[in-house]
Amino acid sequence: MLMMFQQLVQVCQVMVIISFSSSITSLASDLLPPGEVAALRQIGKTLNEDGRVSFNLGDRCVSGKNVTITRYPPTIEMNGTIGCSCSIAVDKFCHITSFEVKGYDLSGRLPPDLANLTYVERIDFTRNNLYGTIPVEWASMKNLSFISLTANRLSRNIPGYLGNFTGLTYLILSSNNLVGTLPEALAQIKDLTDFRVSDNNLNGTVPEFIGSGLCATGLQGPIPRAIFLLEKLKDLRITDTSGPEFPLLNVPKKMDHLVLRKINLNGTIPEEAWSVVTTLDLTFNKLVGELPSDKIRRQFTFLSGNMLTGTVPESFILSNQYL
Ligand SMILES: *[C@@H]1O[C@H](CO)[C@@H](O)[C@H](O)[C@H]1NC(C)=O
Ligand SMILES: *[C@@H]1O[C@H](CO)[C@@H](O)[C@H](O)[C@H]1NC(C)=O
Ligand SMILES: *[C@@H]1O[C@H](CO)[C@@H](O)[C@H](O)[C@H]1NC(C)=O
Ligand SMILES: *[C@@H]1O[C@H](CO)[C@@H](O)[C@H](O)[C@H]1NC(C)=O
Ligand SMILES: *[C@@H]1O[C@H](CO)[C@@H](O)[C@H](O)[C@H]1NC(C)=O
Ligand SMILES: *[C@@H]1O[C@H](CO)[C@@H](O)[C@H](O)[C@H]1NC(C)=O
């Protein structure tokens, strides 16, 4: 009887040890490398530079899924995820894979130390109030596939190094105070499907491209024309650029949205433009020619502020309140 009791105690001790050690391993598997934890600290400070709100980022990969983000007071729109994975590398650590902090109303700067999170593929700072430049440090983030910085107060130029991010599919920089020209290197991003730079103060003149990105010196055009040759592009929005007039020669096939408002387009509307699926906005350019009466079938078509002629088809009037 006593022996049985002692055996039971031993079994219990073994079980206690097992469950204790398993809780240690589960903690260990949530660990981020010290470099990523240090970067998170600094990123939190840079985003909330003025300390206007209470904003904190965790230091663990919770359940192998995310790092906690806390903001006090909360905003109605805030929607953030710092994603992480514990199987992305063959080391004993978890790593941060995405950094999305949308609608947090933070008024600091874009954090250069984000570049220290080398496994990050997505960056989204939509709808904050961040100022300053797109950091040069980010040039080393070769795994990026998605960048959205829309609706902030970013200034200065769009850095040319973005053209080196060959895996980029989304590049959304609209509604900031960016100036200068569109870097011609952007035309190298062959997988780009969504490119928006509307509502900035872009201007200037860049060398024209021929076909696959060869630069023909001496020729001038306000936007690198190779942008229009990116075959996978589904969404392109560029508005209010100054610069010389130029014709729209190519439109990628099967686009969902094409918004080229007030960018000094001249000449006629190319045939492919009529196959844009959802939104076609070419308003306030210097386009000429006749509207094809049989081709305008999409929901949103905006062409006013040009010198177009022809009978406006009934389908067009019905679908276009701004004409
Ligand atoms: C991020 O990396 C840079 C370059 O290696 C280093 O100078 C910097 O201290 C790092 N940031 C943090 C917060 O550790
Ligand atoms: C948060 O953002 C994701 C996309 O990143 C979206 O799918 C989701 O609907 C958003 N949630 C809210 C509450 O807006
Ligand atoms: C983080 O992950 C947990 C567990 O998977 C989930 O309940 C929570 O909503 C996630 N938080 C965010 C901000 O995505
Ligand atoms: C792009 O990468 C190439 C090769 O690594 C490098 O020489 C070039 O300076 C980079 N371009 C920019 C704009 O950073
Ligand atoms: C374009 O913007 C730059 C930087 O703001 C400015 O220096 C330049 O004068 C502008 N050029 C034109 C043609 O407006
Ligand atoms: C468009 O404007 C450019 C620059 O002024 C001019 O060279 C070209 O002939 C114009 N094209 C058309 C079709 O009007």
Residues with a CB atom less than 6 Å from ligand 4:
139, 160-161, 164, 185
Return all residues near 323 (Cβ < 8 A) that are at least 6 apart.
302, 303, 304, 312, 316, 317
pLDDT tens-digit map of 32-77: 999 999 999 999 999 999 999 999 999 999 988 999 999 999 999 9
Whether ligand 2 lies within 6 angstroms of the CB of 79 is answered as yes
104 or 7: which carries more pLDDT confidence?
104
Q: State how far the Cα of 41 lies from the Cα of 147, in Å rounded to an integer.
A: 21
- Using one digit for the tens of pLDDT, what is the confidence trace for 71-85? 999 999 999 999 999
Mutate-to-test residue for ligand 4 from 141, 142, 158, 164, highest number of ligand atoms within 8 A of CB: 164
Residue 283 DSSP symbol = -
- Cα of 19 to ligand 3 centre, how many Å? 25
Helix (H) or strand (E) holding 42: helix 34-47
The rounded distance, in Å, linking the Cα atoms of 61 and 112 is 21
Query: What pLDDT score does 107 carry?
Result: 93
Task: Judge if the beta carbon of residue 244 lies within 6 A of ligand 6.
Answer: yes
CA 60–ligand 1 middle distance (angstroms): 19
Nearest CA to ligand 2 atom 11: 79
Q: Which atom of ligand 2 is nearest to the CA of 79?
A: 1
Contacts of residue 263, defined as CB under 8 A and 6 or more positions apart, other chains included, come to 222, 223, 238, 239, 240, 241, 243, 285
Torsion of CA 210, 216, 220, 224, to 10 degrees: 40
Sheet with 279-281: strands ordered across:
66-67, 79-85, 95-102, 122-124, 146-148, 170-172, 194-196, 235-239, 257-261, 279-281, 300-302
Residue 211: the pLDDT is 34
Residue of the CA atom closest to atom 14 of ligand 4: 161
For the Cβ of 114 lying below 6 angstroms from any atom of ligand 1, the answer is: no
Q: Give the global pTM.
A: 0.78
Say yes or no: CB of residue 22 within 6 Å of ligand 5. no
Q: How far is the CA of 186 from the centre of ligand 6 (A)?
A: 24
Nearest residue (by CA) to ligand 4, atom 10, is: 161
State pLDDT tens for residues 254-313: 888 898 888 888 888 888 888 888 888 888 899 888 887 666 666 688 888 888 876 555
**What are the structural domain ranges in the chain?**
203-322
Tens of pLDDT, residue by residue over 205-255, are 433 333 333 333 333 445 677 777 777 888 888 888 777 788 888 888 888
d(CA 275, CA 118): 40
